[in-house]
Amino acid sequence: MATPNNNNASSFFFILMDLPGLETAHCWTAIPICSIYVLSVIGNVTILYIVKSVSSLQTPMYLFLSMLSVADLGLSASTLPSMVAVFLLGQRKIGATACFMQLFFIHTFSVIESAVLLAMAFDRCVAIREPLRYATILTTRRIGAIGLAIVTHSAVLHLPLPVLLGRLQFQPVNALSHSYCIHPDVLRLATSSILVNSSFGLFVMLSTLGLDAVLILLSYVLILKTVLSIASNTQRLKAFNTCISHVCAVLLFYTPLVSLSMIHRFGKKKLPAQVYMLLSYLHFLVPPMLNPIVYTVKTKEIRVHILKMFHPQKL
């Protein structure tokens, strides 16, 4: 097979990876994968429906939660086509153009989710440090502008990725490490110079996910400083409780990401392929499923309205 460049990328394809050791057990692996997607869609659509339907929940905190649900749905939808092809249909080939488009959407929605988590940290910081000015600082118009800026910035920043990848040549043995396309995995198969692609990818990661993580940490340092200055233990606990759901969402998103980054750079050759793939699935599949569950369990207002949906006569 000739190594492709941007002139024949449309006819070139990559091979997606099944779960190592379970290549022939598509029926069994499809069950948990499909369950994760179904739970993700039901949970996030429910959050969106409740926030839209209940006027008392159309406050900054819940509007940002709606943005998180949209990002989760987008991230799930980005990985869904190739996951269905691999685990339900046993189809492991994906065209280069489709692969490049998929990684664009995966990375774009991943950065959108990170930026929304930062916006939610800012929301909690303002609510705790400036409670009297909270409603005037985070108006609906400003929240809409923040959401538009997040989407625009994330999409524009990733637009060069498919173009830069289309300029590369790839080796004939073109098997990826996952059942979906991500930028570092595709770069690994390139035979031409990847200096520009690698440098651009590093810049995007540091200027988005890396910067977001630092600013989220800074926000919680300010929150902690403010909460510890409160004299009443009851008020301290109440303030901390408003942040628990967001802290869980941050940990769900960043813990697998940081672990993947460390393994990719320092320990990939020392660990089984199953560990690497598991962390990858945890990063891309689990947060969209668990975020609605976490917010439902920890947020009384959402929990009450969900119960009203099923037992309206009892509440």
Q: What is the pLDDT of residues 172-215, one digit of tens each?
A: 778 888 889 999 889 888 888 899 999 999 899 999 999 999 99
96-129 and 211-228 helices cross at what angle (nearest 10)? 20
* Sign of the torsion formed by the C-alpha atoms of 228, 234, 240 and 243: negative
Domain presence at residue 187: yes
Q: Does any domain span residue 1?
A: no
Is 231 a domain residue? yes
Residue 2 included in any domain = no
Examine residue 4 and state whether it is found in any structural domain, yes or no.
no
**What pLDDT was estimated at residue 10?**
53
Q: In the chain, how many domains are there?
A: 1
Note whether residue 3 is domain-resident.
Answer: no
Reported as type and span, the H/E element at residue 223 is helix 211-228
Task: Determine the structural domain holding residue 236 and report its residue range.
Answer: 9-314
List, for residues 77-117, the tens digit of each pLDDT value: 999 999 988 888 878 899 999 999 999 999 999 999 999 99
Specify if 51 maps to a domain.
yes
CA dist list (Å): 87 to 33, 244, 308: 8, 35, 37
User: How many whole angstroms separate alpha carbon 131 and alpha carbon 32?
Assistant: 43
pLDDT of residue 305: 86
pLDDT score of 50 more than 50: yes
Q: Domain holding 103: CATH number? A: 1.20.1070.10
Instruction: Confirm whether 216 is domain-assigned.
Output: yes
